[in-house]
Structures are given as structure tokens and as C-alpha cells.
């Protein structure tokens, strides 16, 4: 306390209040600690992403040199040029966007209809069906893929887009239970009086759905569409198995090494595949979704409250 | 010149409008009446007839239309596509793969699937396999270690983000990011370049201590978790948001009352925050276990299932084909459900007995 002897007692108290606050949780010290913790946690969290970004710009010498870790001596944009060529962008990007749009739009529309059926009407066995619907979340296609392969073969839709489209259209696609639940939770919040008054005025159920419910449900549509887009884009195992080898951009990435060797045959000088080129291929693959996320991040992060998977 | 262009546009527009008008006239004159007649026929025919508020089927069965019945009808109408879908794409494959798992099944281009009943042989072969048993035990060990880490991590992050700080949405964005970008090939590539763990963590004393001092059945899951630490934390994206939503629902007056009684922030966390987050742990666990199980790592069980199904086993001393693959998927699914059951029953609140 001798150190502060030149400061008056009132000033000491003031400083204490600034640093520790009235109840400790509103002091400056507390905030500094919280920020430090959050920054260090997010560094851990984003480390792979940073690694990918930095190493994708490194030259071969920098990759080998252990002294160069975070700041490359030269920025090798050539890596990106090569990866761009190998992934056959922008054609592959357009193709995979068209494919994923088809699947995710059909998943969104079907889950909107199904969710309305569950939320609005009472019918026999509704509770049973709803329980089965929720249970399908832990029984995804990866588990039943063996039988599904044979069924798709019988239906003669294996290796076509229909193998993904048909399950999506009938509410059985990837994470379809979550989409149906999002719509279900939203429809439950619409006051019943609104619909009953339309019924009294003589509107049929389909017309009520089209003219009253659909305009109200646009936010849920956007959320479900974004999530299904992202999840169908990222699903590479099932898509590769049912639809084909090079359908989406991640599947192009999976075949990166092979297609690199056809474009840059081994033996030509300066054509060896290195980690930096592979990582720039990865960066190019996740870039579309990163852009989508930064434009619509509020829709993504605030959606969990609306899904209803937290409550009930 | 300019006048000519505007006149051209005008001409074009009037022609377009005329075209639309003529189409609509044609529709009203020629197409609408037969359609109306068709729909009328659909409701008034021998099989199905609507009279007032009753429906007659085959002129024999009379059903009164009540509000309840109409609602049930429309309910089934809306979920009809789901009913069809679940029958074809979920329940039938489920039963069919169960059937296949007791058979030796191969695909023949001429005759389709050829099956011969072999009983439990597929399941027995799984437990005799040299590659599969380690794959399953790796999976189970990794999950047992990783799921608690994810849950604890996401609770910590959720509580930190929920503190009275100004940049909440930024942190939400950061911690949800992996959900958007984590796709199989990217993760596999990061794994190949060993970028999914902190270099310091591997170099630290803990790692070598575990390797040197613990028996391998304990050390293996721990080291695999350390080797893919960041990837495991990436699964916390959605649980963090679930817990954040849970934190919003805690009544702030609870905290006020506790601090009036002299509880420190530390005490408040253990006595108020944590118990009110427990109900959200069940759903988080389900989500984490399912999403972790469905990530197909090369050499994992699902990847082996695919190779057994499509090209045959790498250790061809044992069975392969569709039946064997189906049995593998079933054992995997049972493991997954068991994990979910064990974890959720561990975290379930023990209801106090009323005396």
C-alpha cells in the first residue's frame, strides 16, 4: 500500500471501483480476463483455418524451412492458380451449385409441407409419426446405405441426381428431421384465430397454406434453405456413393491428387504437387460457403433459438 | 432514330399484352370449363359423392364430414409425401438391411440380388475380423473421451460469450464457423497435414506421459483425441448455440436473489447456471454423437463398410458383400445408440424422491 501513498484514499477507491467494479463482474479486470479467454479459445478454434490460409500461400522453400511459420517470405499466388485449374473452376462450382440448389430447394419445400401437417392438424397416430420423424435424426442414410444402394438400383436411379433428390423431396434427406422441426416450431407460433377466421370465410386448407402461412413463414424458409444448402454441400460420402464422383466441389477436392497428375504430369520441371497447392485447393473449396456465411451469419447463428430443439 | 426505337418497344409490348390476353381468353373459353367439369366429376361420381356435408362411397358407406375428420384428412394430405418417403427410403431400407445382415448377398447384373441365409455368421465374422474390431473399439474409445470434452468446452464457451460484453455476435460467428466449413475432404486433408491439433499440445509432457505410463487400451483413445483435438472441438459449434439459447432462458432475478444472499459469481455458476443448463445437455449429446459418428474418416467403420460393400474386403479371408456390410452398419448403429443412451442417462437429472 506504500506504493499508492501519493494517491489519496478517494482516488484509491475510485481505481478499485474501475478495476474490480461493484460486484466483480462489472469491473475492467473481469472484462479483460473474459476477452483474453475468448481470444485464446478462438485462436485454438480457428487454428486449422489460419494454418490453411497461411500455408496455402507459402512457397516450397517456406514449407520446408522451420523458421517460417506464420509469415511467408513470398506470397505464392501461383498455388491458387494451379488449384483453380485442377478443380476446373468455375465450371465445377456452377455445376455443384446447381445440383445443391435443386436438392436443398426440394428439401425445404417438402419439409415446409410436412411441418405444417404436423403442426396444424390433429389426426390419428400423429404422436407416433412425430416420434418416428424425430427418431430418423439418429437413423441417417449412412447407416442404411447398404440397403439403400440396392433399392436405388432396383429403382434405376443409382448414379443419378434422383438418388439424392427423391429422399429430399419426401422429407428423408440429410438432417431432414431438423428442417421439419424448424417449420413445426414456427407454425405453432402462428395464432390459430388467424387460420380459423380464414376457414370461416370459406378458404380451403390449401388456400390458407398458400396465402396466409407461406408469406409468414419466409424467415423459416430462408433459414432451412441455408442450412440444407450448407449440409448438402458438405455431405461428400453419401453424395459420392449415390450420385457420382465429381458432383460437388468437395468431391472434386477428393480427387485432387489424381486430377493434378493428369493436368501437370509428373516429371515436368516445377510441377510437383506440394502441400501448399493442396491447401489452396481446400481454401478454394470452402470459399463459397465462407462468403455465404459472412453475408448471412445472423441467419445462421440466431436460428438455433428458433428450431425448438432447445425447448420442450 | 430514337422515336423509332420507342415505337418498336411499344409495338413489342402491345404484342406481348395481346398474346397474354389471347392466351387467357383461350384458357377461360376452352380449358377452364372442362377442368371445372372434371373437378365436379371428381366429387360427384359413383365411387365418391359429396351430398351436403356427407360423403357417400360406392353409394353404400355414408360418412358425415365433421371438422375433426376434415382436419384428419388434411393432416394426412400434408404429411402424405413424408409417409411415402419414410416407407420407401427409411423403414424399408431399415428392414431390408436387417434382413440382408443375416444373408450372404451379392449383386448380379442379370438376376439382381442373390441371397442365401447364413444366420449369425456375418455378425460372428465381424468379431473375428482383424481390422474391424480395432475400428469399432477406436470409435467407441474416441467417443467416450471426446463427447465429455465437447460438452464441457461448449458450456465454457457459452457462459463466456453470454457475459456482459459488447462483441457477442462476433464470438457467436466465430464459434459457429466450423459447422459451415467442415466437409469430409477438407478435414481429411487437414488431418493428413496434422493441422487439427495444436503443435504445443503434442510436444507437451502430457502426451509422452500418457504414451509411456498408461496401458494401451487407455492410452490409445486419449492420444487419438489429443491428435485431433481441434477437430473434436469443431463439433461444439451447435452445442454452443444450444447452451446460449438455454442461458437466455434463465431468469435474471435468480442471480439477483443469489447475490443478495451473498453468493459469489463462482457459487452462482455452480448453483444456478449449471443446473439450469443440464436439460439442454441431452439434446447436445444426441447431436454431437450423431454428427461425430456420421463423419466418415478414411479407415473408419463406415469407410470399411463401403469398401466391403463395393469392392470386397482388404482381408478377404472373411466374408464380404452386401450382407456383411449390412451387419457392419447395424453393429455401428447399435454402438451409436448405446453411446447416446449411456451419456444421456449419465447426465439426466435425478429427480428427488418425494417423501
Question: What digits encode the pLDDT tens for the residues A100-153?
Answer: 999 999 999 999 989 898 888 888 888 899 889 888 888 877 778 888 888 888
3-class secondary structure, B114:
strand
SS3 A244: coil
Q: Which of B80, B122, B181 to mutate to test the interface with A (most CBs of A within 10 A)?
A: B181
CB contact (8 A) between residue B189 and residue A279: yes
Please check the confidence at residue A277 and state whether its pLDDT lies above 60: yes
Q: pLDDT averaged over chain B? A: 81
Is A31 in contact with B107 (Cβ distance < 8 A)? no
- Per-residue confidence band for A60, with pLDDT thresholds at 50, 70 and 90: confident
**ipTM, two decimals:** 0.82
Which cell numbers hold the place of A71? Answer: 509469415
Using a CB–CB cutoff of 8 Å, tell me whether B239 touches chain A: no
- Using the predicted structure, report yes or no on whether residue B123 has a pLDDT greater than 50: yes
Instruction: Please tell me the distance from the alpha carbon of residue A38 to that of residue B159, in angstroms, as a whole number.
Output: 11
Residue A261: which of A277, A243, A241, A245 has the closest Cα?
A277
Residue A308 has pLDDT above 60, yes or no: no
Rounded to an integer, the average pLDDT of B309-332 is: 71
CB of B241 within 8 Å of a chain A CB? The answer is yes
Residue bearing the bigger pLDDT, A268 or B24: B24
Task: Encode pLDDT of B165-209 as tens digits.
Answer: 778 888 888 888 888 887 778 888 877 777 777 777 777 777 777
Task: Output the pLDDT for position A306.
Answer: 63
Query: pLDDT digit string (tens) for B203-250?
Result: 777 777 777 777 777 777 787 777 778 888 888 888 888 888 888 888
Percent of chain A with pLDDT over 90: 4
pLDDT digits (tens, 9 = 90+) for A145-181: 888 888 888 888 888 888 888 888 888 888 888 888 8
Question: Where does the pLDDT of residue B18 fall: very low under 50, low under 70, confident under 90, or very high at 90 and above?
Answer: very high
Cite the DSSP H helix spans in A65-175: 77-86, 91-120, 126-135, 145-154, 162-169
**For residue A1, pLDDT beyond 60:** no
pLDDT attached to residue B6: 67
- With an 8 Å Cβ cutoff, are B84 and A170 in contact? yes
CB contact, 8 Å: B48 with chain A?
no
How does the average pLDDT of chain A come out, rounded? 81
pLDDT of residue A312: 43
HSE value, Cβ hemisphere, 13 Å, CA-based, for B30: 6
- Total number of residues shown for chain A: 312
Q: Hey, are the CB atoms on B86 and A150 less than 8 Å from each other? A: no
Adjacent-strand bridge partners of B114: B106
Which residues of A are less than 8 Å from B286 in CB distance? 137-138
How many C-beta atoms surround the C-beta of residue A150 within 10 A? 22
Compute the half-sphere exposure of residue B134: CA atoms within 13 Å on the CB side of its CA.
Answer: 5
Residues of A in contact with B245 (CB under 8 A): 304-305, 310
Give mean pLDDT, residues B314-330. 71
Q: Concatenated DSSP letters for A216-243?
A: HTHHHHHHHHHHHHHHHHH--HHHHHHT
Distance, in Å, from the CA atom of A233 to the CA atom of B180, rounded to the nearest integer, reads 10
Name the one residue in this structure whose C-alpha cell is 446405405: A145
Q: Least CB-CB distance to A304: which of B88, B195, B245?
A: B245
**How much of chain B, in percent, has pLDDT values that exceed 90?**
4
Q: How many CB atoms lie within 10 A of CB B217?
A: 9
Helix (H, G, I), strand (E, B) or coil at B214: coil
CB A39 within 8 A of CB B167: no
Q: How far is B146 from chain A (nearest CA, A)?
A: 15
- Number of CB pairs, chain A paired with chain B, less than 8 A apart: 269
How many CB atoms within 10 Å of residue A178?
20
**Inter-chain touch A241–B196, beta carbons under 8 Å:** no
Which of A81-95, B99-113, B301-315 is predicted least confidently? B301-315
Q: Which residues of A touch B287 (CB under 8 A)?
A: 309
Rank A285-294, B17-26, B86-95 by mean pLDDT and report only the highest. B17-26
pLDDT of residue A309: 56
Short-list A56, A176, A161, CA closest to A111: A176
Sign of torsion, CA B162 B165 B169 B173?
A: negative
- Find where cell 488431418 sits: B191
For A152, the grid coordinates are 436405388
CB within 8 A of B299, min separation 6: which ones?
B135
Long-range contacts of residues B205-213, Cβ cutoff 8 Å, at least 24 apart = none
A148 vs B85: CB contact, 8 Å cut-off? no
**B174 in reach of chain A (CB within 8 A):** yes
What is the C-alpha to C-alpha distance for residues A242 and A261, in angstroms, rounded to an integer? 26
Note whether B171 contacts A142, CB cutoff 8 Å.
Answer: no
CB B248 within 8 A of CB B257: no
Q: Which residue has the cell 477437430?
A: B231
Cβ of B182 and A234 within 8 Å?
yes
CB of B117 closer than 8 Å to CB of B103: yes
Q: Which of A143, A151, A280 to probe by mutation at the B interface, max B CB count within 10 Å? A: A143
Average pLDDT over residues A35-44: 87
* Contact of A72 with A54, CB cutoff 8 Å: yes
Check: CB of residue B211 under 8 Å from CB of residue B223: yes
Q: pLDDT band at A269, cuts 50/70/90?
A: low
Give, as one character, the DSSP assignment of residue A268. Answer: B
With 50 as the cut, is the pLDDT of residue B355 above it? no
**Where is pLDDT greater, at B86 or B7?**
B86
pLDDT at B141 over 60: yes
Q: Which residue has the higher pLDDT, B315 or B160?
A: B160
Q: What is the pTM of this model?
A: 0.82
Sheet holding B48-51, edge to edge: B48-51, B54-57, B61-64
pLDDT at B19 (0 to 100): 93
CA atoms within 13 A on the CB side of A177: 18
User: CA A228, A232, A237, A242 torsion: positive or negative?
Assistant: positive
**Interface test mutation site (partner B, options A297, A301, A306, max chain B beta carbons within 10 A):** A301
Q: How far is A55 from chain B (nearest CA, A)?
A: 10
Contact status of B263 with chain A (Cβ, < 8 Å): no
The DSSP call for residue B29 is I
Contacts of A198 (CB under 8 A, 6+ apart): A208, A212
Among A23, A69, A146, which would you mutate to test the B interface (most chain B Cβ atoms within 10 Å of its Cβ)? A146
Q: What is the per-residue pLDDT for A281?
A: 85
pLDDT, average across residues B79-94: 88
CB of B288 less than 8 A from some CB of A: no
- Provide, rounded to the nearest whole percent, the portion of chain A with pLDDT above 70: 90
Structure confidence at residue A279 (pLDDT): 85
A132 closest CB neighbour out of B72, B86, B196? B86
C-alpha A164/C-alpha B85 separation (Å) is 12
Amino acid at each position: 500500500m506504500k506504493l499508492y501513498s501519493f494517491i489519496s484514499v478517494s482516488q484509491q477507491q475510485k481505481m478499485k471501483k474501475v478495476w474490480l467494479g461493484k460486484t466483480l463482474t462489472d469491473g475492467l479486470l473481469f472484462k479483460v480476463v473474459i476477452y483474453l479467454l475468448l481470444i485464446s479459445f478462438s485462436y485454438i478454434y480457428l487454428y486449422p483455418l489460419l494454418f490453411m490460409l497461411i500455408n496455402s500461400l507459402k512457397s516450397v522453400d517456406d514449407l520446408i524451412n522451420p523458421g517460417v511459420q506464420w509469415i511467408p517470405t513470398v506470397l505464392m499466388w501461383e498455388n491458387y492458380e494451379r488449384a483453380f485449374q485442377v478443380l476446373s473452376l468455375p465450371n465445377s462450382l456452377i455445376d455443384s451449385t446447381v445440383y445443391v440448389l435443386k436438392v436443398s430447394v426440394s428439401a425445404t419445400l417438402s419439409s415446409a409441407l410436412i411441418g405444417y401437417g404436423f403442426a396444424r392438424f390433429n389426426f390419428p397416430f400423429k404422436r407416433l409419426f412425430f416420434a418416428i420423424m424425430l427418431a430418423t435424426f439418429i437413423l441417417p442414410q449412412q447407416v442404411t446405405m447398404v440397403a439403400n444402394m440396392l433399392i436405388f438400383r432396383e429403382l434405376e436411379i443409382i448414379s443419378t441426381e434422383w438418388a439424392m433428390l427423391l429422399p429430399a423431396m419426401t422429407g428423408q434427406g440429410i438432417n431432414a428431421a431438423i428442417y421439419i422441426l424448424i417449420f413445426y416450431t414456427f407454425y405453432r407460433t402462428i395464432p390459430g384465430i388467424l387460420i380459423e377466421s380464414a376457414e370461416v370465410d370459406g378458404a380451403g386448407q390449401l388456400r390458407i397454406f398458400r396465402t396466409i402461412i407461406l408469406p409468414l413463414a419466409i424467415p423459416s424458409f430462408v433459414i432451412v434453405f441455408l442450412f440444407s444448402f450448407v449440409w448438402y454441400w458438405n455431405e461428400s460420402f453419401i453424395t459420392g456413393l449415390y450420385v457420382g464422383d465429381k458432383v460437388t466441389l468437395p468431391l472434386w477436392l477428393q480427387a485432387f491428387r489424381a486430377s493434378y497428375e493428369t493436368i501437370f504430369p509428373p516429371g515436368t520441371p516445377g510441377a510437383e504437387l506440394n502441400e501448399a497447392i493442396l491447401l489452396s485447393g481446400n481454401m478454394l473449396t470452402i470459399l463459397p460457403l465462407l462468403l455465404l456465411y459472412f453475408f448471412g451469419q445472423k441467419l445462421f447463428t440466431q436460428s438455433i433459438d428458433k428450431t425448438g430443439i432447445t425447448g420442450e | 432514330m430514337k422515336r423509332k426505337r420507342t415505337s418498336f418497344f411499344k409495338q413489342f409490348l402491345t404484342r406481348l399484352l395481346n398474346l397474354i390476353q389471347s392466351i387467357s381468353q383461350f384458357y377461360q373459353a376452352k380449358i377452364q370449363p372442362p377442368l371445372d367439369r372434371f373437378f365436379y366429376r371428381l366429387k360427384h361420381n359413383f365411387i365418391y359423392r359429396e351430398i351436403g356435408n356427407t360423403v357417400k362411397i360406392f353409394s353404400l358407406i355414408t360418412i358425415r364430414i365433421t371438422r375433426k375428420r376434415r382436419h384428419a384428412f388434411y393432416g394426412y394430405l400434408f404429411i402424405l409425401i413424408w409417409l411415402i418417403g419414410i416407407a420407401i427410403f427409411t423403414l424399408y431400407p431399415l428392414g431390408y438391411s436387417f434382413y440382408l445382415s443375416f444373408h450372404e448377398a451379392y449383386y448380379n447384373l442379370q438376376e439382381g440380388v442373390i441371397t442365401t441365409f447364413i444366420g449369425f455368421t456375418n455378425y460372428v465374422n465381424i468379431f473375428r475380423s482383424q481390422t474391424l474390431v480395432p475400428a469399432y473399439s477406436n470409435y467407441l474409445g474416441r467417443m467416450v473421451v471426446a463427447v465429455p470434452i465437447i460438452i464441457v468446452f461448449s458450456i465454457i464457451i457459452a457462459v463466456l460469450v453470454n457475459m456482459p460484453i459488447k462483441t457477442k455476435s462476433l464470438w457467436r460467428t466465430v464459434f459457429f464457423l466450423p459447422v459451415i466449413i467442415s466437409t469430409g475432404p477438407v478435414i481429411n486433408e487437414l488431418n493428413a497435414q496434422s493441422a487439427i491439433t495444436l503443435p504445443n499440445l503434442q510436444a507437451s509432457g502430457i502426451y509422452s506421459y500418457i504414451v509411456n505410463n498408461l496401458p494401451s487400451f487407455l492410452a490409445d483413445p486419449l492420444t487419438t483425441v489429443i491428435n485431433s483435438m481441434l477437430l473434436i472441438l469443431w463439433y461444439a459449434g451447435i452445442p454452443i448455440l444450444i447452451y446460449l439459447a438455454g442461458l437466455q432462458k434463465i431468469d435474471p432475478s435468480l442471480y439477483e436473489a443469489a447475490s443478495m444472499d451473498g453468493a459469489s459469481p463462482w457459487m452462482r455458476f455452480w448453483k444456478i447456471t449449471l443446473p439450469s443448463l443440464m436439460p439442454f445437455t441431452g439434446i447436445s449429446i444426441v447431436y454431437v454423437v450423431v454428427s461425430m459418428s456420421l463423419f466418415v474418416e478414411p479407415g473408419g467403420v463406415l469407410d470399411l463398410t463401403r469398401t466391403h460393400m463395393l469392392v470386397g474386403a482388404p482381408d478377404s479371408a472373411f466374408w464380404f458383400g452386401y450382407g456383411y456390410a449390412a451387419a457392419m452398419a447395424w453393429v455401428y448403429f447399435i454402438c451409436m445408440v448405446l453411446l447416446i443412451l449411456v451419456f444421456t442417462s449419465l447426465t439426466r437429472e435425478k429427480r428427488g424422491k418425494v417423501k
